[in-house]
Amino acid sequence: MRNDTDVLIVGAGHAGAACAIALRHGKFDGRILVVGAEPDLPYERPPLSKEYLAGDKPFERLLIRPEAFWTERDVHFQLGVTVASVDAAAHCVTTESGAVIGYRHLVWATGGAPRRLGCEGHHLAGVHTVRTRADADRMMAELPEVSRVVVIGGGYIGLEAAAVLAKFGKTVVVLETLDRVLARVAGEPLSRFLEAEHRAHGVDVRLGDTVDCILGEDRVTGVRLADGQVLEAQMVIVGIGIIPAVEPLIAAGAEGGNGVAVDSHCRTSLPDVFAVGDCARHANRYADGAQVRLESVQNANDQAAVAAKAILGQPADYDATPWFWSNQYDIKLQTVGLSIGYDQTVVRGDSASRSFSLVYLKAGRVIALDCVNAVKDYVQGRKLVEAGARVDAARLADAATPLKDLALEVLG
Ligand code: FAD
């Protein structure tokens, strides 16, 4: 039997939930069905490597909305169900179990799957990725038996997990192939600051090291590096990025490559098919119009709202200011803008005080800020980023001058 719907949202994560919320908020009165591969109602993913992993927040508090919210708004869910293929001409999808669901509008909000290691031993028990509640639960169940952990990848997720495990008293090694942590997303002063913080908490941060293989029979016992060194470990956490979950859409003929391509209304090249969140590649004005795929709650929520508007017949361009956060130990990092293509950085304040900001400039214009325990800079710097303001580097470096004063000076 077919279970047709007006709007079919594939993926019950941040973007899928936000799209359903925005549709009902915009008075959409058609049927909304959300199909999600995970068994849970939409929940917040960021705490999985932070408060949830630390045991500070129970799962119920991660839910994006309580069950009653969805019932009251007549949003239907099919959970534990994976969509396997899309027939865009026929306006229907088929699930892995062969059920066919017809739609008027399809919103693809599938995020991505963690990139796996390609080396020997990558499948052993005790080797984890952190993307879902189930991933975090599996790790947490093993932790009491674990004293040594190797984290592969010095990106946000790896560093956050390392911070939690170090606080638990585990012996933690972070392996990063490049010569600094967060090399792809942050400027060197921030990388060096975080590296030092982790070291101060006892984490062995190793840079420029590559993994040869994971050792063990059934369970991981260690990691062998390319130079032959062996690091003992009962747990390995792999945080080396995601692969956007877009195969069914691409197989259906959607334009893509590093995700699925969308226009400023989050429409794919297929009729009545939208894509939002981590899986959607789009031209972003904060990247000078370059095609990017953003992996952030901000982007998931804001793109979802844009797709909902288009479905409601009130199209609006995606133009949201990018922002992001990360918590490690007592460090609250907040980012605004995109630092892609920066040619100058300015440190505002003193990193030794553990409260400073890194300002990114491109051709003399402010394009992004990374603020470390510096909420005022984060809030006040937003205007400079949004305007692409030209500000003298020396003035930016002077932490005694609030950014709101600089914004007033240069923007009026
Ligand atoms: P997701 O939330 O991943 O949801 C996609 C859903 O679609 C998943 O449930 C998936 O199972 C499902 N799905 C996939 N394929 C199919 C299919 N074929 N059929 C049905 N369902 C399918 N962002 C921040 O801004 N700040 C942070 O501090 C931060 N920390 C993070 C920490 C961790 C551990 C992780 C994993 C992510 C973090 N992020 C953070 C990123 C943020 O969580 C993502 O950007 C956000 O979840 C993207 O939302 P989404 O809806 O696109 O994808």
| DSSP states of 114-179 | EPPP-STTTTSBTEE--SSHHHHHHHHHHGGG-SEEEEE--SHHHHHHHHHHHHTT-EEEEEESSS
pLDDT at 381 over 70: yes
Which residue's alpha carbon is nearest to atom 16 within ligand 1?
Answer: 110
What pLDDT score does 412 carry?
80
User: Which value, in Å, is the radius of gyration of the alpha carbons in the chain?
Assistant: 22
Mutate to test the pocket of ligand 1, among 33, 83, 278, 303 (most ligand atoms within 8 A of CB): 278
* C-beta 10 within 6 A of ligand 1: yes
Mutate to test the pocket of ligand 1, among 8, 9, 14, 57 (most ligand atoms within 8 A of CB): 14
* Residue 224 confidence class, pLDDT cut points 50, 70, 90: very high
Average pLDDT over residues 12-40: 98
Atom of ligand 1 nearest to the CA of 13: 4
Average pLDDT over residues 389-398: 95
Residue 201 burial (CB count, 10 A):
14
The pTM of this model reads 0.97
Q: How far is the CA of 396 from the centre of ligand 1 (A)?
A: 35
Residue with tokens 């060194």: 229
What pLDDT score does 3 carry?
77
Give the rounded percent of residues in the chain with a pLDDT score beyond 90: 98
User: Strand 280-283 relative to strand 291-292: parallel, antiparallel, unpaired?
Assistant: antiparallel
Average pLDDT over residues 374-381: 97
* C-beta 278 within 6 A of ligand 1: yes
* C-beta 110 within 6 A of ligand 1: yes
pLDDT at 77 over 80: yes
Average pLDDT over residues 402-412: 91
Using DSSP's 3-state secondary structure scheme, residue 192 falls into helix
* C-beta 43 within 6 A of ligand 1: no
Average pLDDT over residues 30-46: 98
Q: How far is the CA of 55 from the centre of ligand 1 (A)?
A: 20
Average pLDDT over residues 33-58: 98
Per-chain mean pLDDT for the chain:
97
pLDDT at 270 over 60: yes
What pLDDT score does 316 carry?
96
What pLDDT score does 102 carry?
98
pLDDT tens-digit series, residues 108-166: 999 999 999 999 999 999 999 999 999 999 999 999 999 999 999 999 999 999 999 99
pLDDT at 392 over 60: yes
Average pLDDT over residues 18-33: 98
* C-beta 34 within 6 A of ligand 1: no
Q: How far is the CA of 132 from the centre of ligand 1 (A)?
A: 8
Task: State how far the Cα of 289 lies from the Cα of 286, in Å rounded to an integer.
Answer: 7
* Residue 2 confidence class, pLDDT cut points 50, 70, 90: low
The answer for residues whose C-beta is within 8 angstroms of residue 352's C-beta and 6 or more apart is none
Which residue's alpha carbon is nearest to atom 31 within ligand 1?
Answer: 46
The residue among 289, 384, 397, 295 whose CA lies nearest residue 336 is 384
Mutate to test the pocket of ligand 1, among 40, 97, 110 (most ligand atoms within 8 A of CB): 110
Average pLDDT over residues 366-378: 98
* C-beta 127 within 6 A of ligand 1: no
pLDDT at 1 over 60: no
Task: State how far the Cα of 258 lies from the Cα of 275, in Å rounded to an integer.
Answer: 13
Residue type, 110: T
pLDDT tens-digit series, residues 321-348: 999 999 999 999 999 999 999 999 999 9
Q: How far is the CA of 111 from the centre of ligand 1 (A)?
A: 5
* C-beta 326 within 6 A of ligand 1: yes
Give the rounded percent of residues in the chain with a pLDDT score beyond 70: 100
What pLDDT score does 48 carry?
98
